[in-house]
């Protein structure tokens, strides 16, 4: 728990000082490199960078699903039994898959996801 907190804070400090679009020290999305498609996590680095610099709108534009998912992950840490409910897990699964497919549709309004 403390380790995860530390990792989160360290990641935050690192992201604050390194713009993901220019730095060489960011994890490259292997999936994006290979296929050229976006995965459900694409844009999360840029999004957190934007949020840490107070640009809320830009943060939302980079990855809309990131913050609802982070809130949900926090909820699971707080109440682990929710994270064991198979219905909940399958919902998360289908939301992620749907998001994955939709954000790869290259025209309005899907290109905003």
Question: Which residues lie near other proteins (CB under 8 A)?
Answer: 24-32, 39-42, 44-45, 63, 65-66, 69-70, 72-73, 76-77, 80, 83-86, 89-90, 92-93, 96-97, 100
When the beta carbons of 1 and 108 are compared against other proteins, the nearer one is 1
What's the min distance (Å) between Cβ of 29 and other proteins? 4
Q: How far apart are CA 34 and CA 11, in angstroms?
A: 25
When the beta carbons of 79 and 108 are compared against other proteins, the nearer one is 79
When the beta carbons of 78 and 108 are compared against other proteins, the nearer one is 78
What's the min distance (Å) between Cβ of 15 and other proteins? 10
35: left (phi over 0), alpha (psi -120 to 50) or beta: alpha
> Half-sphere exposure of residue 22, counting CA atoms within 13 Å on the CB side?
5
What's the min distance (Å) between Cβ of 85 and other proteins? 7
- Alpha helices by DSSP H, listed for the chain, are 2-17, 30-35, 44-52, 56-62, 66-78, 86-102
């Amino acid at each position: 728990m403390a380790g995860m907190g530390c990792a989160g804070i360290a990641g935050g400090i690192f992201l604050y000082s390194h713009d993901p679009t220019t730095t060489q020290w960011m994890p490259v999305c292997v999936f994006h490199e290979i296929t050229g498609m976006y995965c459900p996590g694409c844009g999360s680095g840029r999004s957190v960078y934007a949020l840490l610099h107070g640009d809320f709108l830009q943060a939302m534009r980079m990855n809309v699903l990131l913050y609802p998912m982070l809130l949900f992950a926090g909820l699971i840490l707080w109440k682990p039994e929710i994270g064991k409910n198979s219905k909940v897990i399958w919902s998360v699964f289908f939301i992620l898959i749907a998001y994955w497919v939709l954000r790869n549709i290259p025209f309005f309004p899907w290109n905003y996801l």
